[in-house]
Amino acid sequence: MRAVEPPPSSPAIFPLVKLPRRLAAIGYDGLLLAGVLFVATALALGLAVILIGGTAFAVHNPLVGNPFFRTYLLLVCFFFYGGFWVHGGQTLGMRAWRVRVRRRDGRGIGWWQALLRFLVAGLWLAPVAYLHQVLKLGVGLSLGAGFACLLLLLALRLPDRCSETELVVVPKGGNTST
Place 10 in a pLDDT band, splitting at 50, 70 and 90. Answer: low
- The answer, as to whether pTM is greater than 0.85, is no
User: Would you list the domain boundaries of the chain?
Assistant: 19-169
**Cα dihedral sign, 68-69-70-76:** positive
> Which amino acid makes up residue 2?
R
pLDDT of residue 30: 95
pLDDT of residue 121: 92
The predicted-structure confidence for 161-171, as pLDDT tens digits, reads as follows 999 999 999 99
The predicted-structure confidence for 59-105, as pLDDT tens digits, reads as follows 888 888 889 999 999 999 999 999 999 999 999 999 999 999 999 99
Burial class, 25, CB count within 10 angstroms (exposed 0-12 / middle 13-18 / buried 19+): buried
Gap between the Cα atoms of 178 and 169, Å rounded = 11
pLDDT for 45 beyond 50 = yes
Lowest model confidence (mean pLDDT) among 20-24, 74-78, 136-140: 136-140
pLDDT for 5 beyond 50 = no
Q: How many CB atoms lie within 10 A of CB 119?
A: 13
